[in-house]
């Protein structure tokens, strides 16, 4: 199986999968391959905080051109996955000199599937393509000439937990937020602070981690529930397993200067069932005078000056640096940013720099060790700086080159774009077409290649009659006619006592 994630979170996701019992775990680029049974597939969807979706490969082959691709796909027995009454969708990712356009690959795979059913049905019936809420979701991955077809077991991107009721401008993706928290090493033992919380994503994900709440418990539906081998009893058993849940004993503080943001964050926390674990405060980051003790972790996502910003961005970041040095001594502070110029205004040397993609923007996550005194005193007390800590952990891969980063921005927006959609009147403005890349580590937004019309002797699948391409990006993936929310089964204490 394959679990997809964001750049920089591969190692975190690999650890999550190992904890669930996965075997042969192999991190790759924005993905982690692993082996496991049906129960593990269900658990990966239900429990992994840093997975965007879980794919189950079912057919691999080599194809040199589009005709061979069509022929190979048509050789598969598609009756094992669906019948003519089912609907299906196709999502394609290509990295090949021969197969340059993912949309054309999607057309050819669709043609092969449809023609297989026509050839095997006396009345030439065929399943229909459904752009939203398809019964069977097929993922096509091409690396040069190697083609892998997989079933998407998740459906909607897993960053859509189900607890978000509203959001402020430019909220951070839930998967990225959880991954950053897990990268800090925080598991609920010390205070957690987000002084610029927005809609509360960091604080809510932190509360879920501290409380041991699986992110999938809020979901109404997974794509694997439409599969022929779906085991409802097994899913209910996994869903109702709350053995890992616990009380939260550490302070979790979420603050923001905007009262509206705090109101939204509080509503989201209530929807997630973690409101009682979080203290919400309406105040500017520059007004902090004390921090919860003992020293813990601070994680925040300040404005970048792109989608949202302040009147004086340089002054904002100078204020952040001043508060970190004056108030949060002893903390580990993790800050996401886009402009190197603004990071410089913080006035602190970062211990780590990690490239991350946030909403299609190539950003950096920087860690700051806020120790008192000088480095000599810090080391004498047992503290370790970045070079010393790096020697104690596996070596990180080098930063991606510009080509990799542009491709990552293009691919990851399929899943990241969904978290930026507004509900109701909360609509986020898209990045201007003329926006410049960030200094030093920024990059231009990737552009989709123009698809060329393919000539063939048979009638092509015309998209002019449909509003979108047949693949389903995360921001369009919805499940229609969902079942009612699952409810955890209550334990019968009397029956438990009688069994003892």
pLDDT above 50 for 434: no
CB 368 within 8 A of CB 333: yes
**pLDDT (tens digit per residue) in 376-423:** 555 555 556 555 554 454 444 444 444 544 455 555 555 545 444 433
What pLDDT score was predicted for residue 158?
Answer: 95
> Count of CB atoms within 10 A of residue 14's CB?
21
Tell me how many degrees the CA angle 19-21-25 measures, rounded to the nearest 5. Answer: 85
What pLDDT score was predicted for residue 358?
Answer: 86
Give the range among 25-29, 409-413, 416-420, 481-485 with minimum mean pLDDT.
Answer: 481-485
Angle between helices 201-211 and 174-184 in degrees, nearest 10: 60
pLDDT above 60 for 497: no
pTM (two decimals): 0.76
More confident residue, 306 or 42: 42
CB 336 within 8 A of CB 358: yes
For the segment 154-169, the average pLDDT, to the nearest whole number, is 89
pLDDT above 90 for 175: yes
**pLDDT (tens digit per residue) in 281-310:** 999 999 999 999 999 999 999 987 655 556
Q: Is 322 exposed, middle or buried (0-12, 13-18, 19+ CB in 10 A)?
A: middle
What pLDDT score was predicted for residue 470?
Answer: 38
pLDDT above 90 for 338: no
What pLDDT score was predicted for residue 122?
Answer: 83
**pLDDT (tens digit per residue) in 112-145:** 999 999 999 888 899 999 988 899 999 999 999 9
**pLDDT (tens digit per residue) in 316-329:** 999 999 999 999 99
What pLDDT score was predicted for residue 454?
Answer: 41
What pLDDT score was predicted for residue 133?
Answer: 85
For the segment 58-86, the average pLDDT, to the nearest whole number, is 95
Residue 353 in tokens:
């720099």
Give the range among 157-171, 250-264, 399-413 with minimum mean pLDDT.
Answer: 399-413
More confident residue, 494 or 210: 210
Residue 264 to residue 467: CA distance in whole angstroms:
33
Residue 233 to residue 228: CA distance in whole angstroms:
14
**pLDDT (tens digit per residue) in 80-93:** 999 999 999 999 99
More confident residue, 377 or 22: 22
């Amino acid at each position: 199986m394959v679990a997809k994630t964001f750049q920089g979170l591969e190692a975190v996701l690999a650890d999550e999968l190992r904890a669930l019992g996965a075997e042969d775990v192999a991190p790759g680029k924005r993905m982690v391959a692993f082996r496991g049974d049906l129960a593990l597939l269900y658990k990966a969807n239900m429990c992994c905080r840093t997975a965007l979706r879980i794919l189950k490969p079912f057919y691999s082959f080599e194809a040199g051109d589009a005709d061979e691709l069509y022929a190979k796909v048509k050789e598969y027995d598609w009756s094992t996955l669906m019948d003519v009454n089912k609907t299906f969708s196709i999502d394609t990712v290509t990295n090949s000199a021969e197969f340059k356009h993912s949309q054309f690959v999607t057309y050819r795979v669709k043609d092969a599937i449809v023609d297989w059913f026509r050839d095997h049905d006396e009345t030439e019936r065929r399943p229909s393509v459904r752009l939203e809420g398809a019964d069977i979701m097929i993922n096509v991955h091409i690396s040069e000439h190697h083609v892998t077809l997989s079933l998407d077991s998740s459906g909607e991107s897993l960053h859509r937990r189900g607890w978000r009721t509203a959001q402020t401008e430019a909220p951070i993706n839930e998967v990225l937020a959880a991954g950053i928290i897990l990268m800090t090493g925080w598991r609920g033992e010390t205070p957690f602070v987000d002084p610029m919380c927005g809609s509360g994503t960091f604080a809510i994900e932190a509360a879920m981690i501290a409380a041991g709440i699986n992110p999938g418990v809020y979901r109404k539906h997974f794509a694997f529930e439409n599969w022929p081998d779906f085991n409802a009893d097994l899913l209910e058993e996994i869903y109702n397993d709350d053995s890992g849940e616990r009380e939260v004993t550490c302070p979790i503080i979420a603050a923001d200067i905007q009262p509206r943001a705090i109101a939204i964050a509080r509503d989201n926390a209530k929807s997630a069932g973690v409101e009682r674990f979080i203290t919400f405060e309406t105040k500017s980051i520059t007004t902090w005078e004390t921090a919860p003790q003992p020293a813990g972790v601070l994680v925040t996502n300040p404005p970048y000056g792109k989608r949202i910003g302040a009147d004086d961005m340089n002054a904002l970041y100078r204020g952040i640096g001043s508060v970190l040095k004056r108030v949060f001594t002893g903390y580990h502070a993790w800050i996401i940013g886009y402009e190197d110029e603004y990071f410089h205004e913080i006035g602190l040397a970062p211990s780590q720099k990690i490239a991350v993609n946030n909403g299609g923007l190539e950003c950096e996550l920087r860690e700051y060790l806020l120790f008192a005194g000088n480095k000599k005193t810090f080391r004498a007390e047992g503290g370790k700086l970045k070079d010393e800590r790096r020697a104690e952990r596996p070596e990180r891969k080098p930063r991606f080159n510009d080509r990799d980063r542009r491709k990552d921005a293009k691919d990851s927006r399929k899943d990241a774009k969904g978290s930026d959609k507004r509900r109701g009147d909360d609509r986020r403005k898209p990045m201007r077409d003329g926006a410049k890349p960030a200094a030093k580590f920024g990059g231009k937004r990737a552009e989709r290649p123009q698809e060329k019309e393919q000539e063939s002797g048979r009638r092509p699948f015309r998209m002019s009659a449909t509003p979108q391409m047949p693949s389903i990006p995360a921001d369009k993936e919805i499940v229609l006619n969902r079942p009612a929310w699952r409810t955890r089964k209550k334990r019968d204490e009397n029956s438990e006592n009688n069994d003892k």
